[in-house]
Chain A
């Protein structure tokens, strides 16, 4: 349980948001050229980091916009919030 500072609405309770999981997993540009291992990597394999992880979040019960969050999963502390399309910050 923690607060998230939505870049569009300001600080709100986490329960207003939906987690979209690991960020920066790019959709394959040529899906037909992927082999089974590459599909498995894209669809299922996750870093699942204990520590600082880059994630996507959606303000589902607010502005409904997506954004990225750098969050420490060992203590739920949010290190940085940045917009979709931006590169992950160096932390």
Chain B
């Protein structure tokens, strides 16, 4: 049983210089066999393991991670959480996640610092205005909070935005989802890891998958750098490396992996208390609790696994940021990094069974998977445990690329997340 985190445990541990905190999760060696193995110890993978144990009583399971948990895209994103997607299937999926976010810190007894500071999406041309108004109506029909703001209301909600109509891409209005916001990305991985570990899940770090052993049309186990692990169910949540894992099983996926960049500035006093996104000029910004501006840039146009990204992409984003927020013109950027995102042709994820029995994929989250972490884990766990999708992820099956029943979120979501 893990000790409960509380104000009292904080005070108690302060007296021993915080040297006697209990381990948050074990560091086990892999067993010979598990009922299920999750490949990928990011937020989605750990959440999947957590819900498999909690809701489906599958506790003889493991998460294998090539590096350290939360070291991939979970620790590299801009932490934005929202559910104002256009299509019904996406609205259902992302709002399911948002509802779990609202109680997640209490459920995990781990402060994920979920902050519903609102997300505003700006319109810069007539088509943006039409699209965003349409999306607002669609959201409200799906029970998702969304309002349209005129330019003066945008200025009132976030005073540092330059709403002059003389700039190259003037602000013509925007939408606001007040329940949306941000969370502490690392804490999400750590919270789920601690919760899963407590229920007996083995979290095995520094364990890279080298091969998938098949017996005809079903899986038999995984070849890893820590030896062979026998299992009948494998759930792959490997983000940018999904195609690499699929290739080991002889599968091909409709994915392209590309670098997506983000950057943070030096920390300053509170200046922006919401998240502002601008799809058509591709700039989005929020401020972390440490005071850094968190800025998201775009993807490179080519396939790459380098976790770097090109300078011209950052330059484009900063140009747009400076035009919209002239107040940031003297800010210094501290760090820049890239993550490898796996993008589907319709910019929607895959949470699905495959043609191989016992092999499941949760991938294709592209540039915006963080917001879905709890919902993705919950629905993927359901899919693995029952060998059938939940009704909320039925539309996100892999066969939609054959049937043509795509969930095309390019217009609504693909540019900025």
What is the interface of chain A, defined by CB distance below 8 A to chain B? 1, 14-15, 18-19, 21-22, 36-37, 39-41, 43-50, 53, 55, 73-76
Contacts and interface: CB of A to CB of B under 8 A. Distances in A.
B401 A45 contact: yes
B325 interface: no
B65 interface: no
Interface residues of B, number: 27
Q: Does more than half of chain A's interface fall in helix, strand or loop, or is it mixed?
A: mixed
B401 A48 contact: no
Contacts of B254: 40, 44-46
B255 A37 contact: no
B285 to A, nearest CB: 23
B306 A76 contact: yes
Interface of B: 241, 243-244, 247, 252-257, 301-306, 308-312, 342, 345, 401-404
B308 A1 contact: yes
Contacts, number: 72
Contacts of B309: 1
Nearest to B243: A48
Contacts of A76: 304, 306, 308
A74 B306 CA distance: 6
A40 B301 contact: no
A38 B311 CA distance: 38
A83 to B, nearest CB: 19
Contacts of B302: 14, 19, 55
A42 to B, nearest CB: 11
Contacts of A49: 243, 247, 303
Contacts of B342: 48
Contacts of B403: 36
Given A44-B345, A50-B244, A73-B304, A15 B310 contact: yes
A47 B345 contact: no
Given A40-B254, A48-B257, 12 more contacts: A18-B301, A19-B301, A22-B303, A36-B404, A40-B402, A41-B252, A43-B401, A44-B254, A53-B303, A55-B302, A73-B305, A75-B306
A72 B402 CA distance: 30
